[in-house]
Structure 1
Amino acid sequence: MAIDPSADRPVYKQLADLIRARIEEGDLRPGQRLPAESDYVAEFGISRDSVRRAMAVLRGEGLIITELRGSRVRDAGEAVTVQISPGTQVGARMPTEPERKQLGVAEGVPILVITDPGGETRLLPADRTIARAGDEA
């Protein structure tokens, strides 16, 4: 797949689409490092700013994590099922930085705020939580 600078869609969004497709197709697996910014610049003949903007889009979607040594595909982790009883309220929001670190969620991944009828609140990563209503386990 190529990037077309003359297309209506911005170059950084085209690159984000391309990387997203590679992740979804399994060409880039969880935990795998993405090529360096300079590699994308050389491969597609685009600016470093366009590469950085594409990475920001993918981070915002929770698909990648960027660390000091570069970006890698985020490992979604194993899902947890929680029982939701009648009267329980479930909401979603973006976590604060301390919450994000405590829960181990990537930038751009929301959290679920589950408040039971007694007022006890739990914060859970939305990408790894299955909320089940009723009495089923």
Structure 2
Amino acid sequence: MDPDESDRPYLRVAGAIRSRIVSGDLRPGERVPSTRQVVRDFGVAMATATRALAVLRDEGLVVTRPGSGTVVRSPEPPSRRSPRSRDRDLTTGRIVATGLAVADAEGLEAASMRRIAAELGVAPMSLYRYLAGREELEHLLVRAVFRAHPLPEPGPAGWRAKLELACRVQWRAYRRHPWLPELVSLTRPLLLPEAMSHTEWTLKALARLDLSPAERAREVIALASLVRGLAASATAETRAERETGQANDQWWVALDDEVRGLMASGHYPQLASVPERAVQDLDALLEHAMARHLDGLAAHLAGR
């Protein structure tokens, strides 16, 4: 380290946490101090704390996991099998399962062919005996997710209960796999059997209503857009947390003085009355949006 850089606050903080990791005081899988703890314990600004944790992530000492915070990275276990035996055990299913695990933990961009090959202990070119390339891998990832989230036959009674179920099942898929909104397009949909089955099921739920074929199609697209739009917001938050090591509540803490100043100005009385939980609970927001949308559809049908 350059002597001039060693005096920088974020490097001093990173060095202190690094020493605890190296000494074994912080073990693999254990949470490292959060940005809020760093601010309190070291007397530094939130931006300094965020940068210090980013240094440790860049060094490969820690990793940020959604829902768990920033933890000490576990060492890669040594493989006892020869490359030839690993190649022999390789299957499309194992490749897809590994890709899912990497994408869920670190984002879709991390699930490269090279990274998956490294996780499986094989040469990257070995994967191309099973997959044509990245595009096919992404298609198989989407198929695997929708296969794991089927819609039941015949499903609940009534069109509204069916549409609610379809939305909630898709929402669970998005929440469990935050990268999924990146691969789901409503204008250029992937023609994959498992995803198409979801659309067919939802259209069937609307089949007996007094709607034209175009109206039914638009209804399905509108509901899917509602769910995907909220899921994309959750994905953006997951990515921001991973990149900064700063959870949403910590981000708001960093802006606390600025927010208080704006709300105390008197220019935004309606915003000032909004409870934080109302906009931060995405699950509740989905239920609210879905209920209001379906209320509108019910009123439209009753008017006919």
TM-score w.r.t. the length of structure 1 is 0.56
Match of 1:97 in 2: 110
Runs of 4+ in 1 over 2 A off after TM superposition: 80-84, 99-105, 112-115
> How many residues in Structure 1 have an aligned counterpart in Structure 2?
97
Give the secondary-structure state (helix, strand or coil) at the position aligned to 1:15: helix
Q: Distance between the aligned counterparts of 1:12 and 1:66, measured in 2?
A: 18
**Per-residue CA distance 1:69-120 (angstroms, 9 max, x = gap):** 3100000131236879xxxxxxxxxxx6212873687xxxxxx9968xxxx5
Q: Percent identity?
A: 34
Corresponding residue of 2:73: 74
Please give the secondary structure, in 1, of the residue aligned with 2:70: strand
Say which one has the larger Rg.
Answer: 2
Match of 1:18 in 2: 16
- 2:111 alignment partner, SS class: helix
Question: Pick from 63, 67, 77: which aligns with 2:61?
Answer: 63
CA 1:103/1:18 → structure 2, altered by over 3 Å: closer, same or farther? farther
> What TM-score comes out, normalization by structure 2 length?
0.27
Return the alpha-carbon distance in structure 1 between the equivalents of residues 53 and 117 of structure 2: 22
CA RMSD of aligned residues (A): 3.4
Instruction: Report SS of the residue matched to 2:64.
Output: strand
Structure 2: where are the runs of 5+ without partners? 84-108, 128-304
Equivalent in the alignment of 1:27 = 25
| SS at 1:78 equivalent | coil
The alpha carbon displacement at 1:68 in A equals: 2.5
Of 40-49 and 8-17, the range deviating more from structure 2: 8-17
With over 3 angstroms needed to count, the CA separation of the structure-2 counterparts of 1:56 and 1:9, relative to structure 1, is same
Task: Quote the residue 2:198 is aligned against.
Answer: none
Structure with more strand by fraction: 1
**Which structure features the higher share of helix residues?**
2
CA distances 1:16-40 after superposition (whole Å, capped 9, x unpaired) = 1111100000000000011221111
